[in-house]
């Protein structure tokens, strides 16, 4: 099943490439008991860019993503999305894809998207259909999500993050259990959305998929951002 090349324009309405910061973190730490998942992280992520966040297990990647979407309250420090430190005020402008798909297995794909779209006040089926087609699925498919392959569930989870046309996308391991062809098509879709002004931050262990698409690679270790580079393998050339 192939991905459509058109939906990026229909899912994103911005035609310019802004350069202001979409996400700002200042001295952010997140402590769980005696464990520091994030340690004094300060960073800016510009609007209209695609970032790949890399690092070993336990480096703090998912905690960083969860903090930026407001799901993990920092122990210390401040953050802002689109210039607003009240992250709740930016909820309608962000799309989040967690590592678990968080889909309702007894529903079809369209039923899932209708439900999540309604949380954003969307009652029209067209945004749901566009999002499903954008990730290479068929909105007419009536099969329950519980009978989807894992790769199909991942793509539907991405559609869920896109359905309300957010300005910023936070994606945690979006290529997990997705075949190579579909993963490549997902990368192309993300690049298209970046090209029309969306900001995209992707946590992944499959960094090579984003080698030609990402604007910057963010390397994390023990709860800190250690390196930012335009190249995928800075450690091999240092």
Contact yes or no for 202/53 (Cβ under 8 A): yes
Q: Which residue has the tokens 């995928």?
A: 232
Mean local confidence (pLDDT), 106-115: 97
88 part of a folded domain = no
Burial of 131 per CB tally in 10 Å (0-12, 13-18, 19+):
buried
3-state secondary structure of 68: helix
Q: Structure tokens of 63?
A: 């905690």
Residue 20 has pLDDT above 90, yes or no: no
Residue 112 has pLDDT above 60, yes or no: yes
Q: Please tell me what DSSP assigns to residue 233.
A: -
Q: Give the long-range contacts of residues 58-62, CB within 8 A, separation 24 or more.
A: 58/222, 59/220, 59/221, 59/222, 59/223, 60/30, 60/220, 60/222, 60/223, 60/224, 61/172, 61/203, 61/220, 62/99, 62/172, 62/203
> What's the whole-model pTM score?
0.88
Q: What's the CATH code of the domain at 186?
A: 3.40.50.300
Question: 234: pLDDT confidence band, cut at 50, 70 and 90?
Answer: low
Q: Where are the beta strands (DSSP E) in 102-198?
A: 168-172
- Residue, of 235 and 60, whose pLDDT is higher: 60
218 part of a folded domain = yes
Mean local confidence (pLDDT), 102-128: 96
Q: Among residues of the chain, what percentage have pLDDT more than 90?
A: 83
End-to-end Cα, the chain, rounded Å:
41
pLDDT in tens, 133-168: 999 999 999 999 999 999 999 999 999 999 999 999
Nearest to 160 by CA among 202, 122, 105, 112: 112
pLDDT of the residue at 30:
97
- Residue, of 122 and 88, whose pLDDT is higher: 122
150 part of a folded domain = yes
Structural domain span for residue 102: 46-70+93-233
3-state secondary structure of 209: helix
Per the structure, how many domains does the chain have? 1
Which distant-in-sequence residues (6+ apart) come within 8 Å of 44 by Cβ?
Answer: 21, 23, 24, 25
29 part of a folded domain = no
112 part of a folded domain = yes
pLDDT of the residue at 95:
96
Inter-CA distances, 212 with 50, 59, 184, 207, Å:
11, 24, 11, 10
3-state secondary structure of 204: coil
176 part of a folded domain = yes
Q: Among residues of the chain, what percentage have pLDDT more than 70?
A: 90
How far is 77 from 37, CA to CA, in rounded Å?
14
pLDDT of the residue at 9:
41
pLDDT of the residue at 4:
46
pLDDT of the residue at 235:
52
Side-chain half-sphere CA neighbours of 83 within 13 A = 3
pLDDT of the residue at 193:
95
187 part of a folded domain = yes
59 part of a folded domain = yes
pLDDT in tens, 24-41: 999 999 999 999 999 999
């Amino acid at each position: 099943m192939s991905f459509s090349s058109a939906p990026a324009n229909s899912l994103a309405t911005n035609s310019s490439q802004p350069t202001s910061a979409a996400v700002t973190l200042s001295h952010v730490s997140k402590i769980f008991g005696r464990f520091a998942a994030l340690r004094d992280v300060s960073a800016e992520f510009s609007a209209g860019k695609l970032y790949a966040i890399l690092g070993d297990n336990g480096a703090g990647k998912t905690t960083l993503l969860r903090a930026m979407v407001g799901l993990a309250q920092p122990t210390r420090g401040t953050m802002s999305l689109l210039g607003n430190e009240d992250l709740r005020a930016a909820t309608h402008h962000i799309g989040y894809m967690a590592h678990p798909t968080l889909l309702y297995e007894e529903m079809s794909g369209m039923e899932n998207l209708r439900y999540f779209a309604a949380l954003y006040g969307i009652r029209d089926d067209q945004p749901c259909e566009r999002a499903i087609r954008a990730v290479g699925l068929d909105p007419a498919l009536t099969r329950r999500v519980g009978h989807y392959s894992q790769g199909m569930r991942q793509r539907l989870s991405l559609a869920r993050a896109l359905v309300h046309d957010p300005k910023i996308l936070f994606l945690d391991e979006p290529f997990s259990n997705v075949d190579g062809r579909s993963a490549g098509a997902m990368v192309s879709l993300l690049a298209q959305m970046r090209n029309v002004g969306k900001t995209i931050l992707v946590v992944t262990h499959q960094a090579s998929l984003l080698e030609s698409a990402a604007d910057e690679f963010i390397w994390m270790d023990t709860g800190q951002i250690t390196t930012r580079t335009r190249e995928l393998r800075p450690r091999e050339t240092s």
